[in-house]
Structure 1
Amino acid sequence: MAFIGIDHGTTGMRFALIEGDRVLTFELGRAEAAAMSEKEILESIEENFGIRRETIDLIALTYSMGDGFCAIKDVRNLEGRGLQSIEGAGKKTGGGTRVFDAIRNSGIPAIAIPGLHVKSKVDPRMKVFSHLTSPEKLGIAYHIRCLGYRDFVVSDISSNTVTLAVAAGKVIGAIDACIFAPGVHHGPLDLQAIRDVDNGLTTANQAFIEAGSLKMTPYKDREELLSAAKKEEEAALLALDTIALFAAMEIVSMELLLKDYGTNGVVFLAGSVGEVEYMQKKIRAHLGQECLCLGKWHAAIGCAEIARDVFAGEKEILGVDVNFP
């Protein structure tokens, strides 16, 4: 039995294969995927995993915000690609679209995972925000659930920061990237950003993708920032300290939500910045508690686990309904 999960991340498309006890992963940059044909994308999956497409039992796919549907369903039953609009918060390269269309048109059985938004089954107080999290974060949360945890908070920290709360095995809330804690690239719009948008100096989306802690530094991207942090450059450490502080605040806010459900839960850190040891130490110190850590691959692995369990007949994943087959 072979199951694949696909994480539509900010900087790349990450793929994971679960075949028995074997777990394999690989990544395509979003610009790289955008330049490939659908045929080339499918061939890349076959070559990297050493598998023929006819032997794949089910793929679980994430795409952009996933805010146009609420239940896990066949990709071929989605209207469009499962979005209310192609406009929103984030950079568009076309790589995710090319991968989505390649899978949808391939004939391989595939399901789409929704994001969490105002129409989802979450704590009703969270619905003051139209959007809570994109679908790949459910992949991370489900992987944690598969590790045996039912009550937890997970903060995914990379280009942006998104934090989810799970109680009794169901997602009850999340804080999206454009609401609170900044990541490296993305963050909420502050007063000056709102003024700049109103004065026509920038768009809201451009302000969002430039609101991360990178703006405090001379570095051009996450790789430069993390490299400078290893050298203990002051600007880099200040940027990471900033992310750590606000991520810790966001985690505490989700822990407060868990308390309303009668539990405390375990804290997990994930993402390419969350897996940095310096960040882990800072966040642990802020929280005054231990945090368990995952890496950048666990969203895709969790999506593959969703595919595996949906194929086996699960009708609910983290409280999200499954309408498949």
Structure 2
Amino acid sequence: MVFIGMDHGTTGISFCLMSHDGEIIDIFKIDREDSKSGKVSAIEELSKRVDLDSVKLMAITYAMGDGFSKILPIDKVEDRGILSINGAGKVTGGGTSVFSELENSDIPTIMIPGLHKGSDSLDKLFNAAYSHQASPEKVSISYNAFKETGWKNYIVADISSNSVDILIEDSKIKGAIDACLGAMGIVHGPLDLEMLRDIDEGRRGANECFSHAGAIKIAGIDGKVANMKDQLLENYRNGDEKAKLAIDTLIMTVAMEIAGLDVVCENEIEGIVLTGSIGSATEPFNFEDEINKYFKGKYELKVISKESGAIGAAQIAQDVFNGADNILGIEVDFE
């Protein structure tokens, strides 16, 4: 008996294979470009690692997930569960090809929705403020955080190519701050006045601005998403002042966002969960130590795997298969 979780991430599509007793069998990632070009098949890669007939359920995330609001079987979700592919960062087509493979397979599959204004489970004030709060993998990340900590009131900070912070109150997701709204990630970030003027005056498109609004804009780095992160970290190691300023600024914006979510939580926060390739980083800087300089020991901090999106999705698959009727307040409709 095997459960699978898929995280449709910025730099690649990650899979977690989990046994019936919750032990991780394997975690692997498919490069978006390799998938799009046909060099790699998701089904073939899964078949190398597990007998597909033993898979009881797979839970997947895809793009913004703003076209539905319940956890549903894949055949009940229309248009891949999205309203539009636009405005979501660079589109490569790699995630779409993997989705098509899985959709046409015989693997029982459910889809996890994103957090958006159509999500009945979210706080009405968050929904009134923001049309979109987080993509589906933030739900699975938050679930993995719950499984790792047992906390009922906590904030998840997922820091990588983009930064999204999620507030969980009384074991339900209350709301989140999306990548284009608040804290910087390495690549993506909020649009400031200069960028809005560039858009209005036709110098750059909104998506292009969003995809250059993270720490890289401070460090003066451009290129492919995965390469930009590596270049920024290498520059930091080499003592580059702009790279240090970029990372320090990113950390400050994340601390500000977490503090804001704490203020609107009606309960006392039990802790902060850090994840993502930057949120879980220990070198060339220790993210936990650096952000705790702002918190001054106020919160218990817990670092979980940077693959928490795929792990949490597998845990959702297992619990839905075993009869869970909601995941962090999100209704499950699985028959």
Q: Is the 8 A contact 2:279 2:288 kept in 1?
A: yes
Please report how far the alpha carbon of residue 271 of structure 1 lies from its aligned counterpart in structure 2 after TM superposition: 0.4
1:12 aligns with 2:1: no
Query: Taking every aligned residue pair, what percent have the same amino acid on both sides?
Result: 40
Residue 90 of structure 2 corresponds to which residue in structure 1?
Answer: 91
Does residue 1:235 correspond to 2:242, yes or no?
yes
The structure-2 alpha-carbon separation of the partners of 1:86 and 1:21, relative to structure 1 and needing over 3 Å to count, comes to closer
Does 2:134 align with 1:133?
yes
Judge which range, 186-195 or 222-231, deviates more.
222-231
**Structure 1 CA distance for aligned equivalents of residues 281 and 235 of structure 2:** 13
Shift of 1:21: 4.7
Structure 2 stretches of 5 or more lacking a match?
223-227
Q: Give the aligned residue type for 1:225.
A: L
**1:217 corresponds to which of 216, 219, 234:** 219
Q: What pairs with 1:127-276 in structure 2 (closer than 5 Å)?
A: 127=127, 128-147=129-148, 148-220=150-222, 221-258=228-265, 261-276=266-281
Q: Distance in 2 between matches of 1:232 and 1:307?
A: 44
Deviations 1:28-68 (A, max 9, x none): 11111212278x22001121xx2122211111000000000
Shift of residue 318 of structure 1?
Answer: 0.3
What SS does the corresponding residue of 2:165 show, helix, strand or coil?
strand
Residues 57 and 108 in structure 2, CA contact (< 8 A), matched pair in contact too: yes
Distance 2:240 2:86 in 1: 37
- How far apart, CA to CA, are the structure 2 residues paired with 1:21 and 1:83? 30
- Give RMSD over aligned pairs: 1.3
- Aligned counterpart, 1:122: 122
- Structure-2 separation of matches of 1:276 and 1:242: 16
Contact (CA 8 Å) 1:151, 1:166: kept in 2 or not? yes
Helix, strand or coil for the counterpart of 2:253?
A: helix
SS at match of 1:183: coil
Number of residue pairs the alignment of both structures matches: 320
CA contact (8 A) 1:188 1:208 kept: yes
1:73 aligns with 2:72: yes
Distance 1:284 1:139, change over 3 A: same
Tell me the equivalent position of 2:44. Answer: 43
Is 2:290 the counterpart of 1:285?
Answer: no
Distance 2:204 2:235 in 1: 29
8 A contact 1:143–1:302 mirrored in 2: yes
Verify the 8 A CA contact 1:89 1:178 in the aligned structure 2.
no
Tell me, in whole angstroms, the C-alpha distance in 2 between the residues paired with 1:29 and 1:288: 39
2:153/2:267 contact within 8 Å kept = no
Question: Conserved in 1, the CA contact under 8 Å of 2:145 and 2:304?
Answer: no
- Aligned equivalents of 1:132 and 1:243: distance in 2? 19
In 1, Cα distance between equivalents of 2:182 and 2:159 = 12
> Quick check: 8-17 or 230-239, which moved more?
230-239
Deviation at 1:232, TM superposition (A): 3.2
Code of the aligned partner of 2:5: G
Q: CA deviation at 1:234?
A: 1.8
Shift of 1:230: 2.7
Partner residue, 1:299: 309
Which ranges of structure 1 fall in alignment gaps of 5 or more residues?
none
Q: Is the 8 A contact 1:5 1:17 kept in 2?
A: yes
Does the 8 Å CA contact 2:218/2:246 hold for their aligned counterparts? Answer: yes
Q: Aligned partners of 1:142 and 1:80: how far apart in 2?
A: 25
Secondary structure of 1:323's partner?
A: coil
> Where in structure 1 do 4 or more consecutive aligned residues deviate above 3 Å?
none
The one-letter amino acid paired with 1:302 is G
Greater shift in the superposed pair: 272-281 or 65-74: 272-281
| Code of the aligned partner of 1:29 | D
- CA distance in 2: counterparts of 1:295 and 1:262, whole angstroms: 26
Q: Is the contact made by 2:5 and 2:59 (CA closer than 8 Å) also made in structure 1?
A: yes
Give secondary structure in 2 for the equivalent of 1:244. helix
Structure 1 residues 70 and 37: alpha-carbon distance in aligned structure 2, compared to 1, 3 A threshold:
farther
Taking the aligned partners of 1:86 and 1:158, their CA distance within structure 2 comes to 21
Task: Return the alpha-carbon distance in structure 1 between the equivalents of residues 237 and 262 of structure 2.
Answer: 31
> Within 1, Cα distance between the matches of 2:97 and 2:306?
22
* Structure 1 stretch displaced more, 227-236 or 119-128: 227-236
